[in-house]
Amino acid sequence: MKIFSCAKINLYLDVVGRDTDGYHFIESLFQEVSLADEIEVNPSESDFISFDGMLVEGDTTVHKALRLFRESFGTKSGYTIHVKKRIPMGAGLGGGSSNAAAVLSALAVLEGVEKASLFPLASRIGSDVPFFLWGGMAWVSGKGEKITPLSCRLEDVYFLIVYPGIHVSTAWAYSLINDYRPHTHPQNILDSLGGSLDFLRKIVYNKFQPFVFAAREDLARWKAILDRESGAEFSFMSGSGSSLVYVYSSAERRDADRKCFSYQRDIQVFSADPVYRPSEKG
């Protein structure tokens, strides 16, 4: 069984508190995008997990997804899982969380398990994993477990995602936050939801960006360099970093910047469009 594991970008991201267990409370507008890993999940005599073109050591989100699924549903058959990576790691794009959700979803189909029963497992793997069981656009709050899928659709909005080769640890980025005052009230954003570029221009925000840029001046320099060369409407950092997102009103301008940026050494550039799941359509 072949499935695609899409990335996400945070159109809005605020960190509004920290619990006694060390986890943080967020308010965020997630958007699934077309940049994706490709995963094959097939029954086999024993479990085997591999990642294309890279050596991955330790207990990855894919390992955790398979283990928790087996423990929860008593799965007896083994599975071979192969991940062909395109989403950069440590980039603020949710690649590991997306992989886990995709594997859980594939196993649910193969084993005849209801989707609703996957959410408790997803939360145990990582705070972003539950979102990827829904995809599309969603308002995400709490520790990432409170998800409100939204019917809003972005129209005539095109993204260019730039990974500058700088790995940013999510835990490290959270450790930089020392101000939990809300940027705005969530209802102000939800009440103004729209699918236009003007809507995005008004609401785009990332609390991490000034903190991460102050600590990683190399990342701030990259954004300054690319901003000068870009024809985008605006740009921002996604998640806890380090990926930079450039927003366009036309695919032609996006493609021109992609060609321009590709001449820069040590960065990866990806075109990406908003993604909405067929099951979400009313």
CB 130 within 8 A of CB 121: no
Which of 91, 115, 149 corresponds to the end of one domain?
Answer: 149
Predicted confidence at residue 278, as pLDDT, reads: 83
> Does 196 belong to an annotated binding site?
no
Q: Are residues 164 and 96 in the same domain?
A: no
Whether residue 107 sits in one domain with residue 170: no
Task: List, for residues 241-272, the tens digit of each pLDDT value.
Answer: 999 999 999 999 999 999 999 998 889 999 99
Residue 94 annotated as binding site: yes
Stretch 175-198: mean pLDDT = 91
Residues 91 and 199 in one domain: no
Check the annotation: does 89 bind a ligand: yes
% the chain with pLDDT above 70: 98
The overall pTM is greater than 0.75: yes
Q: Which helix (H) or strand (E) holds 201?
A: helix 197-203
Q: Do the annotations mark residue 137 as ligand-binding?
A: no
Which H/E stretch holds residue 51?
A: strand 48-51
Write the burial class of residue 51 (CB in 10 Å: 0-12 exposed, 13-18 middle, 19+ buried): middle
Asked if 269 and 262 count as a contact pair (C-beta separation under 8 A), the reply is yes
Q: List the beta bridge partners of residue 274.
A: 33
Q: Is the pLDDT reported for residue 280 higher than 70?
A: no
Q: Judge if 67 and 134 occupy the same domain.
A: yes
Q: What is the mean pLDDT of residues 11-24?
A: 93
**Are residues 94 and 219 located together in one domain of the fold?**
no
Q: What is the pLDDT of residue 279?
A: 56
d(CA 282, CA 190): 19
**3-class state of residue 180 by DSSP:** coil
Total number of domains in the chain: 2
Is the same domain home to 55 and 26?
A: yes
Q: Is 61 helix (H, G, I), strand (E, B) or coil?
A: helix
81: CATH? 3.30.230.10
From 64, 128, 207, 223, active-site residue: 128
| Confidence band for 56, pLDDT divided at 50, 70 and 90 | confident
DSSP lists the bridge partners of residue 15 as 26
Catalytic entry in 8, 64, 207, 223: 8
27 and 142 share one domain: yes
- 96 belongs to an annotated ligand binding site: yes
Write out 84-116 in H/E/C secondary structure: ECCCCCCCCCCHHHHHHHHHHHHHHHHHCCCHH
128 is an active site residue: yes
* Residue 53 predicted with pLDDT over 70: no
Q: Provide the residue range defining the domain that includes 224.
A: 158-280
Q: Do both 37 and 131 map to the same domain?
A: yes
Last residue of a domain, one of 99, 116, 149: 149
Which of 1-10, 47-56, 144-153 has the largest mean confidence? Answer: 1-10
Residue 2 annotated in active site: no
> Annotation-wise, does 58 bind a ligand?
no
Domain co-membership, 20 together with 104? yes
21 and 136 inside one domain: yes
- Residue 231, annotated as binding a ligand: no
Domain boundary among 102, 126, 149: 149
Sole residue written with tokens 């729209």: 194
Average pLDDT over residues 148-153: 93
User: In percent, how much of the chain has pLDDT > 90?
Assistant: 85
CB 100 within 8 A of CB 87: no
Is 184 in the same domain as 142? no
Q: Give per-residue pLDDT as tens, 81-118.
A: 999 999 998 899 999 999 999 999 999 999 999 999 99
Q: Coil, strand or helix: which one is 53?
A: coil
Indicate whether 218 and 111 sit together in one domain. Answer: no
Half-sphere exposure of residue 149: CA atoms within 13 angstroms, side-chain side = 15
- State the number of CA atoms in the 13 A half-sphere of 48 facing the CB: 8
**Beta partners for 14?**
27
